[in-house]
Amino acid sequence: VQFNEQDKGILSYCLAALLDMFGSTLAIPLVLAKPMCYDQNPLATSEIIGTIFFVSGICTLLQTTFGNR
């Protein structure tokens, strides 16, 4: 696959958006762990992280299916 300069710019923007989305999704349960009293329980933290990624995926599927019409 050949990439020109314009493709490299688009790919870098896509990578930046992906890392931003991943970081913000992962930060929510880590920031809220102490106020919700599950900071000492890694199983609860992992379940909440998994739930947030699952719901985020469902929202992405709904947005790509129905869109903003």
- How many other β-carbons are positioned within 10 Å of the β-carbon of residue 26? 13
What's residue 1's pLDDT?
Answer: 66
Residue-wise pLDDT tens digits, 4-33? 777 777 888 888 888 888 888 889 888 988
Torsion-angle region of 37 (φ positive above 0: left; ψ -120 to 50: alpha; else: beta): left
The pTM of this model reads: 0.70
**According to the model, what pLDDT value does residue 7 have?**
78
27-62 pLDDT, tens digit per residue, is 988 898 899 998 899 999 999 999 999 999 899 899
